[in-house]
Amino acid sequence: MPFTPVLHAEWLKIRTLRSLYGALVALFAVTTAFSAIAATDGSDDPEFDPLFTAFLGMVPGQIAAVAFGALAVSSEFTGGGLWLALAAVPQRGRWFTAKLTAIAVPVFIVGLVTGGASLAAARAGMGAAADGLTAGEQLRGALGCGVYLALMALFAAGLAALLRSGTGALSILIPFLLVVSFVIGDAAGGLTDFLPDRAGQIALHSTWDGSLGPWTGLGVTALWTAGAVVAGAWSVRRRDA
């Protein structure tokens, strides 16, 4: 079967799952709201970064992107969904590629919109403190927001395919993103720059230290995502539906 109808079928599946709509709405609402709140405080801090403050809501908001990716894949493992999908599309690699595309595109688009809305809300809250932001920095931040969220959704999708469980994927990723990265941050020194979340979020900073920059940081996150996707693809190819 050609790729286009397979992709269309996977997109229709995602459109019929209300929980996935809810995840995208939560992604926009949580990220924008937290960024607006963060913008009203902290401008007197000597380490204040107006660009990262504008996108600070993405830290909790990314959980919705992770949930979107994990649930979109794990829904196939209930009710014989994967068996039906592979009966229609025997080429498992083609099916998995279509599934990942149907996950990445809406998250990327919503991520871009969310990044723009967060930036606008935060700039209104920061007032003169945001005047130093250049157009290039703001564009990089909004684009980086979309790319980062799409990568994290794909990371979760690959892990869910490997574990054959959305709950399993979320039970690993949510504590990692909200706890582990911050707990080991100071203790591990520069090594934390290479964690998937820390590396990708460099694109949201006005200035940065360390060996990674905005785009190389996103590249590191992409490598983590690629590893999870390859592992998930192996699971889809090798295990029974």
Alpha helices in 39-57 (DSSP H): 50-54
DSSP conformational letter for 80 = T
Range of the domain at 143: 3-238
Provide the b/e sequence for 132-158 (b: ≥16 CB within 10 Å). ebeeebbebbbbbbbbbbbbbbbbbbb
CA R_g for the chain:
18
Provide the pLDDT for residue 116.
95
pLDDT at 89 over 70: yes
What's the average model confidence in pLDDT over 50-76? Answer: 93
d(CA 187, CA 189): 6
Q: CA of 108: how far to CAs of 4, 41, 145, 151, in Å? A: 19, 29, 8, 9
Q: What is the pLDDT of residue 101?
A: 96
Alpha carbon 226 to chain centroid distance?
A: 13
Average pLDDT value for the chain? 88
Q: What is the pLDDT of residues 192-213, one digit of tens each?
A: 788 899 999 999 998 888 789 9
Domain count, the chain: 1
Q: What's the pLDDT score for residue 187?
A: 59
Per-residue 3-state assignment (H helix, E strand, C coil) for 179-203: HHHHHCCCCCHHHHHHCHHHHHHHH
Q: What angle do CA 7, 9, 10 make, to 5 degrees?
A: 65
| Structure tokens given for 48 | 């204040």
CA 119 to mean position of chain CA atoms: 18
Measured torsion, CA atoms of residues 221, 61, 71, 94, in degrees rounded to the nearest 10: -40
